[in-house]
Amino acid sequence: MRLLFTLAFTAVSLTLAAQTKYSNEFMNIGVDAAALGMSNAVSASSNDVNAGYWNPAGLVHVEDKQLALMHSSYFANIANYDYAAYAMPLDDRSAIGLSLIRFAVDDILDTTELIDDQGNVNYDRIRLFSTADYGLTFSYAESYRYKV
């Protein structure tokens, strides 16, 4: 019975792990060149403006106003990943941060009207459009000092 339960549990776990998530997957790419260089292993040590993405509690270590900007291209420069963040301390124990992430494919050719009613190809009828996903986060962190 125990072996059957273990096999069933393993099969269900592998099935659930194999499912891919697509909605808002761009939010898992990561930000900050230093963090990406460390394989995103920075959630415990993030203590600057980028803490709003990795671990908002780290914002309490921000001592002055900070701004971060990042741009990266994906898929042979087809997709653009842009990140902007701002953080500032409110007092000696709290801070706020605002982050914006944009993942987009710009200047896609719309060729649905390329051929007119007579069957002629008319390149003047090509239009461009873009598609983008945005993620906006607001973070607040406060440090509590308890008396023991």
Question: What is the pLDDT, as a whole number, of residue 54?
Answer: 93
What distance lies between CA 37 and its chain's CA centroid?
16
Assigned domain for 12 exists: no
User: How does DSSP assign 28-59, residue by residue?
Assistant: GS---HHHHHTTT--TTT--STTHHHH-GGGG
Question: What is the pLDDT, as a whole number, of residue 15?
Answer: 60
Q: Answer with the residue of higher pLDDT: 68 or 38.
A: 68
Entry pTM = 0.74
Question: What is the pLDDT, as a whole number, of residue 80?
Answer: 94
Question: What is the pLDDT, as a whole number, of residue 14?
Answer: 60
Assigned domain for 58 exists: yes
Reported as a single tens digit per residue, the pLDDT across 11-59 is 666 665 555 566 778 888 889 888 888 888 888 888 999 999 999 999 9
Assigned domain for 85 exists: yes
Question: What is the pLDDT, as a whole number, of residue 36?
Answer: 83
What distance lies between CA 82 and its chain's CA centroid?
9
Helices (H) and strands (E) in the chain, counts: 3, 4
Assigned domain for 104 exists: yes
Reported as a single tens digit per residue, the pLDDT across 96-134 is 999 999 999 998 999 988 888 888 898 888 899 999 999
Assigned domain for 82 exists: yes
Q: How many domains does the chain have?
A: 1
Assigned domain for 96 exists: yes
Which runs of consecutive H residues, i.e. helices, occur in the chain? 2-18, 33-37, 51-54
Which structural domain range is residue 115 located in? 23-142
Name the least confident of 10-14, 66-70, 104-108, 140-144: 10-14
Residue environment code for 25-35, b if the CB has 16+ CB neighbours within 10 A, otherwise e: ebeeebbbeeb
Q: Residue 74 corresponds to which tokens in the numbers above?
A: 């994906």
Phi and psi dihedrals of 145, rounded to 5? -115, 110
* Cross-strand partners of 82: 71, 102
Assigned domain for 7 exists: no
- Answer yes or no: is pLDDT of 61 > 70: yes
- Answer yes or no: is pLDDT of 86 > 90: yes
Assigned domain for 15 exists: no
- Answer yes or no: is pLDDT of 3 > 80: no
Picking from 101, 83, 98, 100, the residue whose alpha carbon sits closest to that of residue 140 is 98
Highest mean pLDDT among 6-10, 28-32, 82-86: 82-86
Q: How many residues comprise the chain?
A: 148
